[in-house]
Amino acid sequence: MKSTRTVRTLAALTLAVSGGVLATGMGGSAYAGQLTKETFHFADPFGGSFQCDGFTGSFVGHDHGTVMTWFNATGDPVRQQGKIIAVETDTNDTTGASVVVRTQLNVHVDFLADRMSLTGIRNLANQAGSGVVIQSVGRRLSTVDGTLISFHGPADDILRNGGFCQALAG
């Protein structure tokens, strides 16, 4: 299974911040008082490989976005919001077949409620002559550590291990 760098980047940022929240065991009063906000901008190239049944695939792309994190008076993160955009090209290393995958999503994390929502285009790809070959759009709700709670909309990322192998196989 392969997820795009975008989702991995978000998960890494969220988990890095959430580790402090889960370790402190904050109660419901964490929103009391003034919140401070930190904003992080990123733009990163990425690449790697993944295994499919019968072939190896590779991916290369670029992502960029902004992540804002709000902290309570004691410095613990209480919520996070982000906008992430990415474009990657996935290639079947055996046949040379490729597909361009686009991502444009919003991220909302409530550390106190242990909820993370991804809304928008998690992964979308079209192929000439085939139409849409990867489609993960809509809303995905999970715990902060990524345990799926619910989803709405087409979800190749959940139902087809991303759909990347299927898109490159034929």
pLDDT at 169: 93
What DSSP string runs through 109-164?
EETTTTEEEEEEEEEEEEETTTEEEEEEEEEEEE-TT--EEEEES-BHHHHSTTSH
pLDDT digits (tens, 9 = 90+) for 46-92: 999 999 999 999 999 999 999 999 999 999 999 999 999 999 999 99
82 in Cβ contact with 69 (< 8 Å): no
Give the pLDDT confidence score for residue 32 in this predicted structure: 59
Q: Confirm if 165 and 53 have CB atoms less than 8 A apart.
A: yes
pLDDT of residue 170: 73
User: In the predicted model, is pLDDT for residue 16 greater than 90?
Assistant: no
Question: What pLDDT shows up at residue 21?
Answer: 42
Chain segment 83-142, per-residue pLDDT in tens: 999 999 999 999 999 999 999 999 999 999 999 999 999 999 999 889 999 999 999 999
3-state secondary structure of 73: coil
89: enclosing H helix or E strand: strand 77-92
pLDDT surpassing 50 at residue 165? yes
Task: Say yes or no to pLDDT of 22 above 80.
Answer: no
